[in-house]
Amino acid sequence: MKILGTKYEIVRKKREDDPKLVENDGYCDPTSKIIVIVDGYTPDINNVSDLSVYDNNVLRHEIIHAFLHESGLRNYSADETLVDWLAVQFPKMLAAFENAECAR
């Protein structure tokens, strides 16, 4: 996929195959232009019963990191609260934009 004109690869890996996934469900590496998402969640107290919703949220989170990085906004990209808020709220924001006919 392209993020602001830069090609990023999205890869799903088993947690045991990537040390960076030991404590994270995904990560964005802006140096190698790769987004890695854990393949095969084990539900726990930190996630939800609907794993597809959780999985999409994790992917949105990492894509937002990439957008901020490619925008030169590295300080914002380092703000996990901001990035997670955008990832969680974006579908609701998109629905509001579409409802107001200003999504494009």
Tell me whether residue 51 or residue 76 sits nearer to Zn ion (CB atom).
Answer: 76
Torsions phi, psi for 18 (to 5 deg) = -145, 115
Tell me whether residue 9 or residue 98 sits nearer to Zn ion (CB atom).
Answer: 9
Joined together, the tokens standing for residue 81 give 């609260």
CA-based nearest residue to 54, from 68, 40, 36: 40
Report CA-CA distances (Å) from 22 to 45, 59, 64: 16, 17, 21
Total residues contacting Zn ion by CB under 5 A comes to 2
Report, in Å, the least distance between residue 11 CB and Zn ion.
16
Q: Which stretch binds Zn ion (CB under 5 A): 1-9, 14-22, 33-41, 80-88?
A: 80-88
Residue numbers at the binding site for Zn ion (CB under 5 A):
80, 83
